[in-house]
Amino acid sequence: MATSDSRIDLLDLEPDVALAQLRTWMNERGEPAYRATQVLGRLWQKPVRTIDDISELPKALREALAVDFRISSLELATRQASIDGTEKFLFRLDDGQLIETVAIPDGDRLTFCISSQAGCALKCAFCATGAMGFQRNLRPSEIAGQVRELRMLTPAIVPTNIVFMGMGEPLMNWKAVSPTLTLLNDPRALGIGARHITISTVGVLPGIQALAARPEQFRLAISIHAPSDELRQTLMPVNTKYPLAEVIEAAKEFDRRVTFEYVMLGGVNDQPEHAAQLAQLARECRAFVNLIPLHPGGGMGFHPTPAPVIASFAKALRGRSIETAIRRSRGLDIAAACGQLRTERLGRRLPVATEDDREVHVA
């Protein structure tokens, strides 16, 4: 099995590092340096499945290269399409772990929602991934690899935008997420503009600082979900470690505009006083607010806020000059929210969406 494979996985390396290693390797064998560039071009830009598929290299060179290096791949276990065009993919990793990727079309954009961990340690009360617990961190080859795999399908699926809103907490896996950001962004790899790549976090402070220190304009979304510590504590246990006030402080210091994610939980965080408190926080950090209808299925005991109540919550925010969007629920018929596909696959019963739930609510 590839987990016991000691070869270097070229997909784990940032382009500069891959090039340096390949050049050294080529040089040691008296091969010209351009061979290294040829290999790099086949990792992400015109991706191939294995080293043996790099047909521009002589066969003997491919064989020698495959002794020291490998190109890993993810096995596509399930693919499901929603009536609204959203597609969901379940990948099986070398060690049997299952992770999800969702492709969401919206006008001329195609956003991939990718996973950064198998499972999640944070146990947010309404989240299906939290309910399954933490399995392990993903490697760069497994995170950026989700994008690579979809590009290798026929026909290829090529994203314009990436959001780290699949399974896991990206800023608890910064060691792999940082090189992944390079792979997504670097023109020699996936070439997606930094402003089109969003990290979503519960507010892991050291991770926010590390993201802020990167020179590229990657975007930051913070899962706020409650405007007070008392309430946030009950929904997001991580609030004890990273309390709201400190998360807000970090958002203020972030030198780019941040987005607040706010899942609307019926009767829990959707009252007028919550809107007033949330507006105050958003104003302090000049944040844009995304109101997210609860995806039924993840939420143990929670109910979606009715559409008219979401609309008046949005109105209350806008009335306080806070830029607000109501996210449309996508892929409801395929349980496309965080962790739901894997949960389904592993046999836990999911509530069936009612006809009313199937409606796509737009602001």
Active site residues: 100, 338
The CA radius of gyration of the chain, in Å to the nearest whole number, is: 21
**What b/e readout covers 267-303, taking b as 16+ CB neighbours within 10 angstroms?**
ebbbeeebbebbbebbeebebebbbbbbbbbbbeebe
d(CA 200, CA 192): 17
Size of the site for ligand SAH (CB under 6 A): 19
180 lines the binding site for ligand SAH (CB under 6 A): no
Minimum CB separation of residue 233 from ligand SAH in Å reads 15
H-type helices in 78-152, by residue range?
A: 128-132, 140-151
d(CA 73, CA 70): 10
Intra-chain end-to-end CA distance of the chain, in Å:
49
Phi and psi at residue 291, to the nearest 5°: -90, 125
Minimum CB separation of residue 199 from ligand SAH in Å reads 8
122-161 residues in contact with ligand SAH (CB under 6 A) are: 124, 126-127
DSSP classification of residue 46: S
From the list 97, 200, 259, 269, which residue makes contact with ligand SAH (rule: CB under 6 A)? Answer: 200
Minimum CB separation of residue 287 from ligand SAH in Å reads 14
338 lines the binding site for ligand SAH (CB under 6 A): yes
Return the number of the residue (50 or 234) whose C-beta is nearest ligand SAH. Answer: 234
295 lines the binding site for ligand SAH (CB under 6 A): yes
From the list 11, 299, 310, 313, which residue makes contact with ligand SAH (rule: CB under 6 A)? Answer: 299
Residue 77 DSSP SS3: strand
298 lines the binding site for ligand SAH (CB under 6 A): yes
Minimum CB separation of residue 134 from ligand SAH in Å reads 12
Rule CB under 6 A: which residues touch ligand SAH?
124, 126-127, 164-165, 169, 200-202, 223, 261, 263, 292, 294-295, 298-299, 337-338
